[in-house]
A and B are shown apart, each in its own frame.
Chain A
Amino acid sequence: MTNIRERLADLLGLDGVSELALDASRSPLPMAKPTDEAELCAVLELAARDGLRVLPVGAGSRLTWCRPPTECDLALSTRRLAGVVAYEPGDGTLTALAGTPMDVLARTAADGGHHVTPDVPRPAGTTLGGVLAGGASGFDRLRHGPARWHLLGTRVAEADGRVTTSGGRLVKNVTGYDLHRLYCGSQGSLCVILEASLRLFPLPERRVVVRRSFPDAESGLAAAWAVARLAVEPLAVVLTDRPDAGGAPWSLEIVLGGRKARVAWERGEIEAALGEVAIEEDGVARAALLRDLEPDPTHAPALHLTSRPSRVAGVLSRAHGLLGSSGVTTTSVIHPGVATVDLPLPASFDGLAGLVRELRSIDGARVAVRGTDLPEGLEPLDPPRAGLALMRRLRGVCDPDGRFATGRVL
Chain B
Amino acid sequence: MDAALLAALGAIVGDDGLIGDAVRRKPYECDGLTFHKRAPDLVLLPENTEQTVHCMRLLCEAGVPVVPRGAGTGLAGGATPLEGGVVVGTARMRRVLEVDVVDRFARVEAGLVNLDLSRACATHGLFYAPDPSSQMACTIGGNVANNSGGPHCFKYGATTRHILGLKIVTPEGEVLDLSEPEVDPTGYDLVGLFVGSEGMFGLATEITTRLVPLPEVTETLLAVFPSLEACCDSVTEIIAARLEPSAIEILDRMTIQAVEASVYAAGYPEQAEAVLLLESEGSAAEVGENVADMRAILVRHGVLEERRARDEHERARLWAGRKGAFGAMGRIAPDLYVADVVVPRTKLRELVLASTRIAHARGLTISNVFHAGDGNLHPNISYDRRDADEVERVLDAGREIMKLCVAAGGSLSGEHGIGLEKREEMELVFDPPSLERMLRVRSAWDRDGRMNPGKLIPVRVCMELRTPPPAPISKARG
Contacts and interface: CB of A to CB of B under 8 A. Distances in A.
B178 A182 contact: no
B60 to A, nearest CB: 16
Nearest to A387: B190
B172 to A, nearest CB: 11
B67 interface: no
Interface in A112-137: 113-114, 135, 137
Given A114-B242, A181-B193, A387-B178, A176 B438 contact: yes
A381 B288 CA distance: 47
B184 A390 contact: no
Given A90-B345, A148-B189, A340 B183 contact: yes
B283 A149 contact: no
A409 interface: yes
Contacts of A332: none
Interface in B372-420: 374-376, 409-418
A170 B180 contact: no
Contact of B438 (A171, A179, A259): A179
A401 B103 CA distance: 42
A345 B422 CA distance: 54
A397 B441 CA distance: 6
A314 interface: no
Contacts of A262: 282-283, 285-286, 289
Interface in A82-134: 88-93, 113-114
Contacts of A177: 193, 196-197, 438, 441-442, 456
Interface in B422-467: 422, 426, 429-431, 433-435, 437-438, 440-445, 456
Interface string B149-191: 1000100011011000000001000001110111111111110
Contacts of B207: none
A309 B190 contact: no
B178 A386 contact: yes
B413 A174 contact: yes
Nearest to B185: A384
Contacts of A163: 433
Contact of B286 (A89, A184, A259): A259
A178 interface: yes
A72 to B, nearest CB: 20
B45 interface: no
B346 interface: yes
Given A168-B411, A397-B440, A113 B183 contact: no
A319 to B, nearest CB: 15
Most chain B CB within 10 A, of A113, A166, A394, is at A394
B147 A397 contact: no
B371 interface: yes
B239 interface: yes
B242 A202 contact: yes
Contacts of A398: 437, 440-441
A24 interface: no
Contacts of B181: 308
A7 B189 CA distance: 36
Given A181-B193, A396-B444, A306 B186 contact: no
Most chain A CB within 10 A, of B283, B290, B371, is at B283
A165 interface: yes
A60 interface: no
Interface residues of A, number: 75
A299 B48 CA distance: 51
Contacts of A185: 184, 188-189
A408 B282 CA distance: 43
Contacts of A166: 430, 434, 437-438
A231 B418 contact: no
A394 B283 contact: no
Interface string A252-264: 0000001111101
Contacts of A148: 189, 192
B437 A88 contact: no
A326 interface: no
Contacts of B62: none
B311 interface: no
A236 to B, nearest CB: 15
Contacts of A175: 411-413, 418, 422, 426, 429
B102 A309 contact: yes
Nearest to A173: B411
A176 B429 contact: yes
Contacts of B239: 90-92
Contact of B188 (A173, A186, A260): A186
A377 interface: no
B344 interface: yes
A381 B188 CA distance: 13
A174 B190 contact: no
A41 to B, nearest CB: 12
B334 interface: no
A407 interface: no
Contact of A172 (B149, B242, B433): B149
B195 interface: yes
Contacts of B456: 176-177
Contact of A170 (B189, B190, B342): B342
A268 to B, nearest CB: 9
A382 B182 CA distance: 12
Interface string A376-388: 0000011111111
Contact of A261 (B190, B286, B415, B443): B286
Nearest to A393: B444
A137 B184 contact: yes
Contacts of B158: 172, 174
A284 interface: no
A349 interface: no
A114 B414 CA distance: 23
Contact of B444 (A170, A172, A173, A394): A394
A88 B438 contact: no
B2 interface: no
Given A165-B430, A172-B371, A174-B146, A202 B441 contact: no
A106 B164 CA distance: 28
A164 interface: yes
A145 B183 CA distance: 10
A169 interface: yes
A162 B433 CA distance: 7
B348 to A, nearest CB: 10
Interface in B37-66: none
Interface string A293-337: 000000000000011111000000000000000000000000000
Contacts of B178: 385-387
Contact of B196 (A178, A383, A394): A178
25 contacts: A88-B346, A163-B433, A170-B343, A170-B409, A171-B345, A172-B376, A174-B146, A174-B415, A175-B422, A175-B426, A176-B418, A177-B193, A177-B197, A177-B441, A178-B193, A179-B437, A181-B160, A182-B441, A190-B188, A231-B283, A308-B181, A384-B185, A385-B177, A396-B444, A398-B437
Q: What 8 A-B pairs have minimum CB-CB distances, sorted nearest first?
A: A181-B192, A202-B242, A306-B183, A393-B444, A262-B286, A261-B285, A384-B187, A172-B374
Given A91-B344, A171-B375, 19 more contacts: A146-B184, A148-B189, A164-B437, A172-B375, A174-B415, A176-B430, A176-B435, A182-B441, A261-B286, A262-B282, A262-B286, A265-B286, A307-B183, A340-B183, A382-B186, A393-B444, A398-B437, A398-B440, A409-B187
